[in-house]
Structure 1
Amino acid sequence: MKLRIKLLAILGFGAMLAPKLSKAQNPIITDVFTADPAPLVHNDTLYLYTSHDTASVASTNYEMKDWLVFSTTDMKNWTNHGPKLSPKDFSWATGDAYAAEVEERDGKFYFYVSTFHKDDDRSDGGAAIGVAVADSPLGPFEDAIGEALIYNEMTTDNPHGWDDIDPSVFVDDDGQAYMFWGNGSMKMVKLKDNMVELDGPIQYYNPENFIEGPWVYKRKDLYYLVYAGKGEERERIDYATSNSPEGPWEYQGILADSAPNSFSIHPGIIEYKGKDYFFYHNGVLPTGGSYRRSITVDYLHYNEDGTIQKVEQTEEGVEAVE
């Protein structure tokens, strides 16, 4: 890894003084702590939806109060559009704002989020997945259905109450939408065309080394499942491939090693202006760590057979594009 921490500390401090704009030298966002990157391309602009770490330096747990949105047209300059959604925007929700993803369909933008459910007549609490909708990638977003799309009691394969997190939504070429999520095991369910109703039973998978954070996409005729997997001491990124979004998934190996100074790592993959990018987070900014993370981006390279070359995590990041 080409992480020259001392140099990064000097550059990162200066960048933190700029409240709205940050340069694409890794980490790409330096004015706030961000995690769980979810990129989306719309009208020649790349939007990046992120979690927002607000924990103190001394904190021993996550504190994440809202979801942020950034954008770029050149992969070098990033505009901070600020918070666009919070668990407080869902009447049924409580707690923190965990990983989320936005999917576009028919001119609408669907914001799938993971947070926690209140203890009420619908659920006894635990992690839940909600969906908000807007007419623009920058919102305003509002709760699309007035209740959770997935709540803890709907999945019973894990005993812990935080297994329904980290949604990843993918619309196939035939128009069928799928949602993947999970901690400890991966779940998948089809969505109806309106993107806010389930279209069939929940299916369960156990990809090799799977922990959490699935990211699913299609390239040519191959489907890719990329996720946070079990490393020796910290999470790393593993991946699998399939000829169908419903599996079976064939394990392909390690895509990226553990992120420096962070227990967790979370993938977001996208093609933009002819290049492939791998977004993730680490903890290398000054005062950063596992609960004060920062999003970075590096190139993703494919082999001729469709397998992916192992990602090199760099300080330099990526070059500007026109």
Structure 2
Amino acid sequence: MVALPSHAPAQGPAAPPGANPIIRDRFTADPAPLVIGDRLYLYVGHDEAGPGEMFNMREWLVYSTADMRHWTDHGPIMAVTDFKWAKKDAWAAQAIARNGRYWFYAAVEHDDTRPGKAIGVAVSDSPTGPFVDARGSALITNAMTPKGTHSWEDIDPTVLTDDDGTTWIAWGNRQAYIARLKPNMIELDGPITEITPPHFEEGPWLHKHGGLYYLTYASLDRTLHSDERVSYATARSLRGPWTYRGELTGSARNSFTIHPGIAEFRGRWYLFLHNAALRIGDRAGALGRRAVTVEYLHHNRDGTLRPVVQTDAGVSVPPSD
């Protein structure tokens, strides 16, 4: 494990602790926070795209922090090849604590026996892994969502344990889906339901606050924009109906994609994102070379979220309460 002060940029003048991007020695994307006790763990994909490549993602990494300003690098926790039935693409993932263990839901490309994107589940006794395939086969395959319009709709899982102890998983690209998980965490418990909100593109994230459920996601209104933004919807039940609340952020700098991850830590709420503004040596940011960022998140009394402006300062400055 390596301690990484967030003020150690790849190049250029030093940035204050907590400034964006928060990881500066490698390209990272699709942030997924998990709070365990007095530490926040951040699971990310590892962007390694070279010249002419769109994406090259072969493993997942995890970092942790006690103060949101200094991050510890725990290294790779799992490779896409650890799912023996998958052939490539260590795409977006999320981890959750349940039954004394840590469960890791991840999007990959299935092998040719079940073509298309799929979602696997891995497990570990530690939030820093290593994680191993928990069932030896995909939890969700493209064949399970036959009404979808394309083969990569089954990506970007997000998981939430409700107050009654049930755990739910949502996912999707252009179509958004939700299903309940069995207590064993490796099987679906009931039907898959479509919950697609307006302009949904990908990257859903579930959280709950003040009796409301929030579905935050990467959105794309193709009549107005060429890059993704973050939008959100709310509901009184995970089953819906979901009420569209509008955009939460603008687009990410230099990046077509954006990917929200939300957590409460030490009494404050945070929104994790990614952009493509980082440069490491002679490698500039790009679609497949992104960088994770973080901003403060505020819930309004009426259940809406305060719009978030993406900054270089990040959480290096106090929030404007």
* TM-score, normalization by structure 1: 0.91
Cα displacement (A) at 1:107: 1.1
Q: Residue 6 of structure 1 corresponds to which residue in structure 2?
A: none
Q: Residue 313 of structure 1 corresponds to which residue in structure 2?
A: 310
- Asked if 2 retains the 8 angstrom alpha-carbon contact of 1:278 and 1:300, the reply is yes
Does 2:114 align with 1:129? no
Structure 1: give runs of 5+ residues left out of the alignment.
1-9, 17-21
- Asked if 2 retains the 8 angstrom alpha-carbon contact of 1:15 and 1:30, the reply is no
Task: Give the length in aligned residue pairs.
Answer: 303
Does 2:198 align with 1:215? no
Instruction: Tell me, in whole angstroms, the C-alpha distance in 1 between the residues paired with 2:9 and 2:107.
Output: 33
1:83-162 aligned within 5 A = 83-120=76-113, 123=114, 125-162=115-152
Cα displacement (A) at 1:159: 3.0
Superposition RMSD in Å? 1.7
Does 2:293 align with 1:296? yes
Output one character per residue of 1:228-267: Cα deviation in whole Å (capped at 9) or x when no partner.
0014110000000000011110000000100010000000
Cα displacement (A) at 1:24: 2.4
Instruction: Tell me, in whole angstroms, the C-alpha distance in 2 between the residues paired with 1:111 and 1:260.
Output: 29
Cα displacement (A) at 1:61: 0.9
Alpha-carbon spacing, 1:161–1:128, altered in 2? closer, same or farther (3 Å): same
- Aligned match for 1:37, one of 31, 34, 38: 31
Structure 2: give runs of 5+ residues left out of the alignment.
1-7
- Asked if 2 retains the 8 angstrom alpha-carbon contact of 1:24 and 1:78, the reply is no
Q: Residue 11 of structure 2 corresponds to which residue in structure 1?
A: 13
Cα displacement (A) at 1:60: 4.0
Secondary structure at the aligned position of 2:11 is classed as: helix
- Aligned match for 2:58, one of 58, 65, 68: 65
Instruction: Tell me, in whole angstroms, the C-alpha distance in 2 between the residues paired with 1:195 and 1:224.
Output: 22
Cα displacement (A) at 1:215: 0.1
Q: After the TM superposition, which parts of structure 1 deviate over 4 Å for at least 4 consecutive aligned residues? A: none
- Asked if 2 retains the 8 angstrom alpha-carbon contact of 1:181 and 1:187, the reply is yes
- Asked if 2 retains the 8 angstrom alpha-carbon contact of 1:23 and 1:29, the reply is no
Alpha-carbon spacing, 1:11–1:88, altered in 2? closer, same or farther (3 Å): closer
Instruction: Tell me, in whole angstroms, the C-alpha distance in 2 between the residues paired with 1:191 and 1:60.
Output: 36
- Aligned match for 2:179, one of 182, 189, 197: 189
Q: Residue 71 of structure 2 corresponds to which residue in structure 1?
A: 78
Secondary structure at the aligned position of 2:139 is classed as: coil
Q: Residue 257 of structure 2 corresponds to which residue in structure 1?
A: 264
- Asked if 2 retains the 8 angstrom alpha-carbon contact of 1:262 and 1:283, the reply is yes
Instruction: Tell me, in whole angstroms, the C-alpha distance in 2 between the residues paired with 1:15 and 1:218.
Output: 39
Secondary structure at the aligned position of 1:64 is classed as: coil
- Asked if 1 retains the 8 angstrom alpha-carbon contact of 2:259 and 2:274, the reply is yes
- Aligned match for 2:220, one of 216, 227, 230: 230
Does 2:40 align with 1:46? yes
Cα displacement (A) at 1:157: 1.5
- Asked if 2 retains the 8 angstrom alpha-carbon contact of 1:59 and 1:291, the reply is no
Cα displacement (A) at 1:46: 0.3
